[in-house]
Structure 1
Amino acid sequence: MSIVSNVRVARADVPSFSFGRAVALLAGTVVVGIEKIMTRAELARSRHQLAQLDERLLRDIGVDRATARFEATKPFWS
């Protein structure tokens, strides 16, 4: 008989479903979703502001009018 066969592995009796874990997972998913929505809203706001800049300001940041227009017309999800 080997030494390995006499060793028992302690295993906690953990149920396969935990309500607390399910709630935590759902809460985490909601938080990530809200963060994504807020990020997309800020991006849309920034693009709108970019479209409002005049030629001098666009030249200061190194963007031409065509690029600014292209960025401003992108949908919020891209």
Structure 2
Amino acid sequence: MSTLSSVRAFARADAPSFSLGRTVALLAGAVVVGIEAVMTRAELARSRRQLAQLDERLLRDIGLDRGTARHEATKGFWA
């Protein structure tokens, strides 16, 4: 059987163009990526709240001033 006839046989009209298993796997992957993104944003928001609570000495230790820390801490969940 030639390559062209193999391709034609594979691409016949009655052959399904998708696989349910592959579709479910892609959807599950998208859900996992979405959950990871939300968890990352939640962790970032928690870190920003903690940053706002640091005193001047600790801010100096990490190389930030109060204004920069305040600016970072006021960013929203989505930022």
TM-score (ref. length: structure 2): 0.83
Name the structure 1 match of 2:57. Answer: 56
- Name 2:34's counterpart in structure 1: 33
Alpha-carbon distance in 1 for matches of 2:35, 2:51: 24
1:17 is displaced (CA, Å) by 1.8
Tell me the distance in 1 between the aligned counterparts of 2:48 and 2:60.
Answer: 16
Moved over 4 A (4+): none
Aligned equivalents of 1:36 and 1:16: distance in 2?
31
Structure 1 runs not aligned, ≥5 long: 1-5
> Post-superposition shift, 1:18?
1.2
Distance in 2 separating the partners of 1:23 and 1:7 = 34
User: Number of paired residues?
Assistant: 73
Which residue does 1:3 correspond to in 2?
none
Of all paired residues, the percent bearing the same amino acid is 73
| 1:75 has 2:72 as partner | no
Unaligned runs of 5+ in 2: none
CA deviations over 1:21-47 (Å, ceiling 9, x no partner)? 110011000000000001000000000
The answer for the alignment partner of 1:15 in structure 2 is 16
d(CA) in 2 for partners of 1:35, 1:41: 10
